[in-house]
Amino acid sequence: MTGHDYVTEADRELEETYEEPMALAAYVDRIFENPTIASHASKYLLEAIEAAGTRTVVEEGEEKERYRFFDDPHNDGEHAILGNTEVLNGFVDDLRSIAAGRAKDEKIIWFEGPTATGKSELKRCLVNGLREYSKTPEGRRYTIEWNVATAETSDRSLSYGVDPTAGDDQNWYQSPVQSHPLSVFPEQVRSQVLADLNEQLEDHVPVRVDTELDPFSREAYDFLEERYRREGSEELFSAIADSEHLRVKNYVVDIGQGVGVLHSEDEGRPKERLVGSWMHGMLQELDSRGRKNPQAFSYDGVLSQGNGVLTIVEDAAQHADLLQKLLNVPDEQSVKLDKGIGMDVDTQLLIISNPDLEAQLNQHADRNGMDPLKALKRRLDKHRFGYLTNLSLESELIRRELTNETEVWEADSYDELEERIREPVRATIKGQDGETRMREFAPHAIEAAALYAVVTRLDEEDLPNGLDLVDKALIYDQGYLQEGDTRREKDEFDFDDDGHDGDHGIPVTYTRDTLAELLQTERDRHHADLAVEDVVMPRDVLNAMAEGMANAPVFSTGERSEFENRVVPVKNYIFDRQESDVIEAIMHEKRVDEETVGEYVEQVYAWETDEPLYNDRGEQVEPDPLKMKLFEIEHLGRFSEDEYQGNLPRESVRNFRREKVITSLNRHAWEHRDEDFSVADVDLTAIPVIKSVLESHDWDDVSRTFEDFDPRQWDDPPSGTETASVKESTIDTLVSEFDYSEASAELTSRHVMGQVSYRWD
């Protein structure tokens, strides 16, 4: 594309975003065609969230529907809120009640949680989502603008000192607080418009516009009303609302225009932070008829900027003095610029804080009914963000912190997520010698960091017998625990729903800083042909995280001791994952193909059923006892000759075939089979024992397949030996099929063989 093409593309985008101003009557016609553009603040925010749709996720071992809005889809996921789906769903449920005027009208929504739990991302995600939604036809947002220059007969004007004879466009002034266009109508007429509009709504949340004109717009309205009344106009409202004086203008929602954000560093008196401040120089220039003129007010307070959509108080503990001033805003929907000048407000109030705000609110709790903060606490609707307790989400978050990846992970199965969890991270850095080089977090290194962080966040008080915290982490991420051929679903475990999972633990900022330092630290390992000094292994990550706690002020003494003790089961699990990679690489060319497995399953069904069974070629399957026996002994490795009488299975084998193969088959496919049903129609990986045959092996398989293999020779195997050929093919497979680099494949396989050699005999 040329520079001109880019400019044209920008023109096209802005053309689709903005509209020409319209007359008030045209706007009313428009809202009957598309009622969502007239929505009040809480309803508008709800519609923006719902418009993005939902997707299904697994968190804490349970399937949940998640609003895609919180994945920051319009911004390519840059500020997605990872996890906390149940908390966000509770927020949307409350928002729905507020929008409908049910029970929670007076509530101020409060998001609380420890540092690095996604609260700041919430603010950015809301701003991004509302901005982009306001650019869509359904999400258009409108306000009003005034021009009284054509009706002026004196020096009094809304022009802030601009020459009233200047060009027409210079005399149009937008409502500084995004007043709703329907607020121009007298209350009785406005009520009729809304009644007619809500009659045609299918939505259960009616549109409500209870606010009057803002003081700035009221000044213009009163001036025009006085002017045309003196002239004796018979159609007074039509004269005031004529398109030469009043226009409806669309605007894009953003910070300062529909979204007000009060940051922790913002200063000023409470009224300044809430609604703005008087401009004293302007008061002298404007005729205020004995009172302060709203034209001389700077509407830069958080409520003024957020009027119409959303008001956010960030790091609310820094503005605790302001919270009590907000008490009556939700239910009275008004604030005062000054004693004689009030302003109606329509905004959804939302405050964000760390746990320190709660400590401030509870400082008088022991006074019971005399607590001066009781009224404030009653109005706060608390939603608590916790640390992530899903391995996949924490892995995604760490990768985001270390790289520029912003894509939100979505997968059709956990196998897809598992692949992403184990993936390496590679980055180009500049070394101490000034040379740039490629550094690598080996496969499973990010997984190790994520799992360790998650394990420190889990409550061990509710662990069932036989499980450790790693098992609990896996259940939370997958929704089940696979133990050999047995799959146990999350609901089979009695975890405490009111436990303390996610309340504390290693924050992602500590993990990020530790990994970033490892990335820059020169390694001291060397190998003749490989740059293994540029590889960070999972054990390097875990050791650095555990050892670094001693000097990290973010952890208390008790936390350091507790978290350091939890690293061992994580190391064991990660080693098992590395070991599995190496075994599968060794056995890569020896895997059983699906055709052989399918034939075995057909044989089992033919053996069990009294009805004829046909394969996908239309041939009737006759059970072959010898074929089944050989498969079970050689490929499954579960049985010996002693468990058969000749070729006929004894009871243990018969039970295995019925319970592990037939019963585990996808019930839906089996129960809905027709006359042409064959095993070829079924996903064999739905059967855990078959999945094991297709995808996993053990050292017995290796020993049986490579009789002269010796792991003790792995580091430097003699040429011409079976160990040398196995190592060569294993390294090649780890690189080509498992996304290892040659260096990380060498280091990982050495580590695994070093442990295996002790028990090989």
Asked if residue 80 is part of any domain, the answer here is yes
* Domain that includes residue 241, residue range: 36-153+166-379
Report which of 510, 520, 507, 504 is spatially closest to residue 548, judged by C-alpha positions.
510
The reply to whether 159 falls in a domain is no
What's the pLDDT score for residue 528?
A: 46
Q: Which one, of 268, 274, 373, lies nearest residue 324 by Cα?
A: 373
Radius of gyration of the chain (CA): 34
Same domain membership, residue 213 and residue 89 = yes
In a domain, 3, yes or no: no
Residue 351's DSSP bridge partners are 110, 313
**391-402 vs 469-478: helix axis angle to the nearest 10?**
90
SS3 627: helix
Amino acid at 694: L
**Stretches in the chain below the pLDDT threshold 50:** 153-157, 159-167, 526, 528, 667-668, 670-672, 679
Q: What is the DSSP string of 288-308?
A: -TTS--GGGEE--SHHHHHTT
**Among 570, 588, 606, which residue terminates a domain?**
588
Q: Residues 577, 582, 584, CA angle at the centre, nearest 5°?
A: 95
What's the pLDDT score for residue 485?
A: 64
Which of the listed residues 546, 561, 588 is the one where a domain comes to its end? 588
- CA nearest to 457, candidates 394, 500, 401, 513: 500
Token readout for 334 is 């008004």
CB 79 within 8 A of CB 72: yes
372 plus 456 within the same structural domain: no
pLDDT of the residue at 356: 82
Tokens 């899903």 — which residue?
390
Q: Residue 514 corresponds to which amino acid?
A: T
In a domain, 7, yes or no: no
Q: Tell whether 311 is covered by a domain.
A: yes
The answer as to whether 523 is a domain residue is: yes
* Count: domains in the chain: 3
Residue 69 and residue 41: Cα distance in Å, rounded? 17
Tokens of 696: 């996993």
In terms of domains, do 367 and 448 share one? no
Assess whether 303 and 344 both reside in one domain.
yes
Task: Based on the fold, state whether residues 629 and 615 are members of the same structural domain.
Answer: yes
Q: Which two tokens stand for residue 264?
A: 């922790």
Cβ atoms of residues 130 and 48 within 8 Å: yes
H-helix or E-strand spanning residue 146: strand 141-146
pLDDT score for 164: 44
The answer on 606 and 574 residing in a single domain is no
Please give the pLDDT value at position 23.
94
Contacts of 256 (CB under 8 A, 6+ apart): 305
Shared domain for 555 and 603, answered yes or no, is: no
pLDDT of residue 732: 96
Instruction: Please tell me whether residues 596 and 582 are part of one structural domain.
Output: no
Q: How are beta strands 108-112 and 348-353 bridged, if at all? A: parallel
Distance in angstroms (rounded) separating the CA atoms of residues 634 and 643: 14
Shared-domain flag, residues 537 and 651: no
Domain end (from 558, 588, 618):
588
Decide: 621 and 602 in contact? Cβ < 8 Å: yes
Task: Answer whether residue 195 is part of any domain.
Answer: yes
Backbone angles phi, psi at 427, to 5 degrees: -145, 150
- What count of other Cβ atoms lies within 10 Å of the Cβ of residue 540? 20
Q: What is the pTM of this model?
A: 0.83
Nearby residues of 459 by Cβ (< 8 Å), 6 or more positions away: 496, 499, 500, 501, 503
The pair phi, psi for residue 536, each rounded to 5°, is -100, 120
In a domain, 243, yes or no: yes
CATH of the domain at 324: 3.40.50.300
**331 touches 105 (CB < 8 A):** yes
d(CA 396, CA 512): 12
Q: Please check whether residue 688 is in contact with residue 601, taking contact to mean a CB–CB distance below 8 angstroms.
A: no
Contacts of 113 (CB under 8 A, 6+ apart): 119, 354, 355, 384, 385, 386
Residues 574 and 614 in one domain: no
Judge contact between 214 and 177, C-beta under 8 A.
yes
Give residue-wise pLDDT tens across range 529-580: 555 568 999 999 999 999 999 999 989 999 999 999 999 999 999 999 999 9
Most distant CA atoms of the chain, gap in Å: 115
| Domain shared by 338 and 422, yes or no | no
- Indicate if 666 and 545 belong to the same structural domain: no
